[in-house]
């Protein structure tokens, strides 16, 4: 059983079905809905992290994204190269982590950055170029994951909210409006709704849910993924796979909320900050946005993931605003936790016990 059909839940369903397991997925809304964290046209794919744990996790995700493309015939990941910019110590940490994991990055001084990326105005801020960075077709990826899971025999049930979970013996009872279902193992990949299900079982993930917003702008075709680190971090994603334009947003500046209480309205102060940033940093873009999206971040205290088992429950919180790129490898880990397979990577960094 898998509860939740965002990128983590559908990835787990795909990997379980590919391993020959019987899989039922229960999704609260329709697939691809805009109430959670997995919708939208695009995401950044990157190895460029300051923590080697996430560098290795991203590298393990790459061949699985390519496998998903092969089995579904969809272009999901386009590698373009990409940039990180910001304080030297932030870039040094990323460069060191990449080097420790055998991934390459190139340090660029300001004149070289201006020469190679004329659409970007950074002044004298240093930059780091990673050739492995690219852009994911997020909505297309969800469709491909669902199709791959169904092709393996998974039963995906939309508009089927789970009302409660209970551990009964060596299995799990799942209550839905259509009746109770019993499963030997249950993957909980419910995003901002996770603690609604887990708290009655006397444990929960320490999550802080925020509502974030992203904007789309008209701009040049040669933009590559770009992350601008700082006290207020921002990111830029090229137009791809039907996106309304170039996506630009702030990272983790949204207001605290809940899965059911969140707003879909624009935050005008945040919108003004993003427009001013685009005008000053991305001079080839029209600073008037052409579209807005909102989404939820489910943030752990260290912004890391939870991938752990509690009896017959497999608990996933693979988000904190940076989880999509890892979808297939997260699904592989969750499937392994549910079937007793050896994990592809050490799981201690993702344990609930660290909190």
Along the chain (355 residues), what's the average pLDDT of each consecutive run of 10 residues?
Answer: 98 98 98 97 98 98 98 98 97 97 95 96 96 98 98 98 96 96 97 96 94 98 97 97 98 96 97 98 97 98 97 95 98 97 96 95
Backbone angles phi, psi at 264, to 5 degrees: -105, 5
Cα dist. 314→19, 188, 210, 337, 350 in Å? 17, 6, 24, 7, 12
What is the three-class DSSP state of 17? helix
Quick one: pLDDT at residue 270?
97
**The token pair that represents 355 in the structure block:** 């909190």
- Tens digit of each residue's pLDDT (9 = 90 or more) over 227-265: 999 999 999 999 999 999 999 999 999 999 999 999 999
pLDDT of amino acid 68:
98
Identify the pLDDT of residue 50: 98
- pLDDT for 104 equals 87
| Residues in CB range of 131: below 8 A, 6 or more apart | 79, 81, 104, 106
- 130: tokens are 């990673």
Task: Please report the DSSP string for 251-302 in residue order.
Answer: SS-PEE--TTT---S--HHHHHHHHHHHHHH-TTS-SS-SEEEEEEEEE-TT
- Domain-wise residue ranges, the chain: 2-354
**Which tens digits make up the pLDDT trace of 124-155?**
999 999 999 999 999 999 999 999 999 999 99
Edge-to-edge order in the sheet of strand 171-176: 162-168, 171-176, 179-183
Residues 6+ apart with CB under 8 A from 259: 35, 36, 191, 192, 193, 196, 209, 296
- Over its C-alpha atoms, the chain yields an Rg (Å, rounded) of 20
Estimate to the nearest angstrom the gap between the alpha carbon of 80 and the chain centroid. Answer: 19
Query: What distance in Å separates the CA atoms of residue 194 and residue 172, rounded to the nearest whole number?
Result: 15
pLDDT at 144 (0 to 100): 98
pLDDT tens, residue by residue, 149-183: 999 999 999 999 999 999 999 999 999 999 999 99
pLDDT for res 318? 87
Instruction: Please give the CATH topology (third level) of the domain spanning 2-354.
Output: FAD/NAD(P)-binding domain (3.50.50)
Q: Contact 234/252 with Cβ under 8 angstroms?
A: no
């Amino acid at each position: 059983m898998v509860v939740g059909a965002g990128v983590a839940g559908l990835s787990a369903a795909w990997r379980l079905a590919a391993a020959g397991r019987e899989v039922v997925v229960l999704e609260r809304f329709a697939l691809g809905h805009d109430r959670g964290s997995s919708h939208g046209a695009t995401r950044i794919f990157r190895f460029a992290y300051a923590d080697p744990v996430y560098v290795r996790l991203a590298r393990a995700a790459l061949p699985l994204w390519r496998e998903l493309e092969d089995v579904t015939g969809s272009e999901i990941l386009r590698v373009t190269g990409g940039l990180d910019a910001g304080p030297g110590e932030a870039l040094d940490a990323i460069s060191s982590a990449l080097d420790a994991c055998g991934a390459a990055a190139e340090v660029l001084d300001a004149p070289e950055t201006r020469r190679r990326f004329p659409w970007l105005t950074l002044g004298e801020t240093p930059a780091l170029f990673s050739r492995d960075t690219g852009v994911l077709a997020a909505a297309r990826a969800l469709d491909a994951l669902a199709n791959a899971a169904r092709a393996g025999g998974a039963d995906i049930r939309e508009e089927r909210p789970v009302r409660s979970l209970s551990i009964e013996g060596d299995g799990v009872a799942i209550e839905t409006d259509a009746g109770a279902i019993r499963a030997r193992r249950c993957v909980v990949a419910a995003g901002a709704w996770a603690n609604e299900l887990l708290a009655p079982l006397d444990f929960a993930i320490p999550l802080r849910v925020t509502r974030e917003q992203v904007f789309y702008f008209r701009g040049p075709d040669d933009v590559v993924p770009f992350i601008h680190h700082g006290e207020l971090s921002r990111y830029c994603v090229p137009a791809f796979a039907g996106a309304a334009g170039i996506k630009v947003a702030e990272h983790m500046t949204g207001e605290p909320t809940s899965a059911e209480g969140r707003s879909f309205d624009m935050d005008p102060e945040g919108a003004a900050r993003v427009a001013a940033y685009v005008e000053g940093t991305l001079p080839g873009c029209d600073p008037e946005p052409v579209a807005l999206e909102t989404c939820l971040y489910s943030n752990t205290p260290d912004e890391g993931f939870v991938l752990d088992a509690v009896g017959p429950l497999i608990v996933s919180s693979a988000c904190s605003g940076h989880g999509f790129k890892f979808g297939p490898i997260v699904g592989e880990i969750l499937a392994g936790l549910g079937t007793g397979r050896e994990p592809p990577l050490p799981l201690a960094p993702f344990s609930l016990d660290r909190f």
